[in-house]
Amino acid sequence: MPDKHLMVIDPAVVKPAIESYNRIAFSASYPVTYHLPALYGLTSIGQMKDNIRGIIVMGSAASVHDGHAWQDAIRDILFGAFKKEIPVMGLCYGHQLIAHICGGKVGPLWSGEKKQGMRTIRINDHSLWGSAQSGPLIYSHQDGIIECPPEFNITAESDLVAIEGIASRSRPVWGFQPHIEATQAFIDDHDIPITNSQETFAFGHQILDNFILSLA
Q: By CB neighbour count within 10 A (0-12 exposed, 13-18 middle, 19+ buried), where does 47 fall? A: exposed
Residue 63 is classified by DSSP as: -
β-strand partners of 7: 33, 55
Asked if 92 is an active-site residue, the reply is yes
- Residue-wise DSSP of 147-203: EPPTTEEEEEE-SS-S-SEEEESSSSEEEESS-TT--HHHHHHHT---S-HHHHHHH
Asked if 147 is an active-site residue, the reply is no
Residue 49 is classified by DSSP as: S
Asked if 179 is an active-site residue, the reply is yes
CB 134 within 8 A of CB 123: yes
Question: At 48, is the secondary structure helix, strand, or coil?
Answer: coil
Q: Which of 5, 95, 141, 179 is catalytic?
A: 179
Q: Which of 5, 35, 92, 102 is catalytic?
A: 92
Q: If we measure between CA atoms, which residue out of 168, 154, 209 comes closest to residue 28? A: 209
Q: By CB neighbour count within 10 A (0-12 exposed, 13-18 middle, 19+ buried), where does 164 fall? A: buried
Q: Which of 100, 164, 181, 205 is catalytic?
A: 181
Q: Which residues are catalytic?
A: 92, 179, 181
